[in-house]
Chain A
Amino acid sequence: DSGVTQTPKHLITATGQRVTLRCSPRSGDLSVYWYQQSLDQGLQFLIQYYNGEERAKGNILERFSAQQFPDLHSELNLSSLELGDSALYFCASSESGLHSYEQYFGPGTRLTVT
């Protein structure tokens, strides 16, 4: 158990809908990272938050957004969903904002868009 929690575990929704994925980092970790993993793309970095502020952005679509709250939990919002958004979404946490020497991954949310 990494100490990172993600909810829900599974999500099935229709195209055009909006969903919110939630992540709670390990106790004491200030950074949260979001990744998307699909069969054809591998593990892709989406966005990082550090202590409530956006720190780095990867290949995140404009339809996707995220935030980190004062209690350090984070939410990833996916809107206008398309079939191609079906994937595993992981969040990871680390102590530091700059050096991700070791990231702790959550169990993931499996999103299926029908």
Chain B
Amino acid sequence: SQKIEQNSEALNIQEGKTATLTCNYTNYSPAYLQWYRQDPGRGPVFLLLIRENEKEKRKERLKVTFDTTLKQSLFHITASQPADSATYLCALVSGGSYIPTFGRGTSLIVHP
């Protein structure tokens, strides 16, 4: 069956370091993959999209990689700040339905 896996354990890092979050999937052929940020009790906020034929995408301090062979996406936040503390969700979009399927998210905590 289709599965999206994000680390359920919170990632704790020191301010200024690079945070790396992982999204693994099985039994999907995604057309593209999205990353969202969600703060407690609030709606997800779109951050980045990467297509199946793209290896890497950047936006300011954010970088996403997409390896369709490994079936994995990595999400990096460089020079992390306490304000980056949130839950980060990955979502896969298959070419058939074009409806995002979300992972459970990983909580990031950046300590000052």
- Chain B 53-94 per-residue mask, 1 if CB under 8 angstroms from chain A, else 0: 000000000000000000000000000000000000100010
A99: chain B residues at CB < 8 Å are 98
A42: chain B residues at CB < 8 Å are 102-105
CB < 8 Å neighbour of A56 from B34, B45, B99: B99
- Is there a chain B Cβ closer than 8 Å to A25's Cβ? no
Binding-face segment, A12-20, A68-76, A102-110: A102-110
B102: chain A residues at CB < 8 Å are 42-45
Asked, given contacts A42-B103, A42-B105, A43-B89, whether A100 binds B41 with beta carbons under 8 Å apart, the answer is no
- Is there a chain B Cβ closer than 8 Å to A2's Cβ? yes
Cα A58 to Cα B94 in complex, Å, equals: 14
Asked, given contacts A2-B43, A43-B89, whether A102 binds B100 with beta carbons under 8 Å apart, the answer is no
Cα A2 to Cα B42 in complex, Å, equals: 11
Residue among A43, A58, A99, A105 having the largest count of chain B Cβ atoms under 10 Å: A43
Report the interface size class on chain B.
20 to 34
A108, B98: Cβ atoms closer than 8 Å: no
A101: chain B residues at CB < 8 Å are 32, 49
Residue of A nearest to B100 (CB): A100
Cα A100 to Cα B46 in complex, Å, equals: 11
Cα A102 to Cα B98 in complex, Å, equals: 11
19 A–B contact pairs at CB < 8 A? A2-B43, A2-B45, A42-B103, A42-B105, A44-B102, A45-B100, A48-B99, A92-B44, A100-B93, A100-B100, A101-B49, A102-B34, A102-B49, A103-B46, A105-B44, A105-B45, A106-B43, A107-B43, A108-B43
